[in-house]
Chains A and B, each alone.
Chain A
């Protein structure tokens, strides 16, 4: 039996701020929140704080994008080829 220990590392956003990825990602893929619990291989340097205003802008954009499109016009599906 192998016993391992690790500490739970949690980042909390400061008052008036939110946490998001430090990496340069498009707004559609940006995650925004107040608290993040880091996985064993994650690092606090992968995260940064943004202002509440910036967070609101991102969330609004994501909300606008999340509209269900009507059924697409789909081309006739290809007929499976005959294995023989």
Chain B
């Protein structure tokens, strides 16, 4: 939304608040504000302007207290607010852990924050999180752990991240995750564990990750995995445990570069349906996998499902076994 659009929306909000001038309580106005925000797709672009208007009409004491130290943004007690106030750029530490009221967290530019570990964990009411730009953040470990009402997380930019373990674990109603530009973390263990409503997993660069254990454990609705890499994988235990029955499209890249191979038979529908699904299967097994025979590495066994195996051509099979893989359909 451009500046004119924001001004127009702010004006309409001003009128709206004028009409409800008799509402004295902060909470009621917060609820009204939330309604306005919900009616606009560009929610986070306008939030700052709207909150400024709101501050002029309410006791700002609570929010003022939040900004007493502009380097520390702490909403752990959440102060009865449904909408988190804008995050100052100076912030060095940020926590909404265990917050009981915050439902909407706005877009945040937080270049001085070095960790978001557990930042939103157990945030019981959190539903929507805007874009997060955290250019120096090293850890996203458990950032949204057990935020069990979380529905949407927009883009996350944290290219220096080394730990994304249990990032979304327990976000059981999470439906949409934007782009995850989170560098090349060393661990993604349990990253999407028990995300039981999630259907699409965005691309994550796991090429440097040694621990991918439990990454998708129990996330049974996943249909698409846009791309993960097994290039450095060492621990992949239970990565596809109790999930996979709905996965049709998955780019599982760089299989066979280490001596561990996930049990692919859990992905019983991998490659079925659209042509792009079959291409993701073929590319993963035939093109992207390591040529272990040429590299002098010992033979490794692949276990695709019987359904996926049946989708491979005889030429595909020949190329896979020539690369040093035994195929054992299940």
Contact = CB atoms under 8 A, between A and B. Distances in A.
B322 A6 contact: yes
Contact of A77 (B117, B241, B293, B300): B117
B324 A71 contact: no
A40 B293 CA distance: 8
A79 B141 CA distance: 10
Interface in A1-48: 4, 6, 8, 19, 31-33, 35-42, 46
Contact of A67 (B139, B242, B303): B242
Interface in B47-86: none
A74 interface: yes
B114 A80 contact: yes
Contact of B299 (A41, A72, A82): A41
Contacts, number: 95
Contacts of A76: 117-118
Contacts of A64: none
B322 A40 contact: yes
A71 B285 CA distance: 31
Interface residues of B, number: 43
Contact of B242 (A38, A66, A71, A79): A66
Most buried by A among B138, B298, B326: B326
Contacts of B117: 76-79
B321 A8 contact: yes
7 contacts: A35-B329, A39-B325, A41-B299, A67-B242, A71-B166, A76-B118, A77-B118
Interface of B: 114-115, 117-118, 138-139, 141-142, 145-146, 162-163, 166, 169-170, 190, 193-194, 217-218, 238, 241-242, 292-293, 298-301, 303, 317-318, 320-330
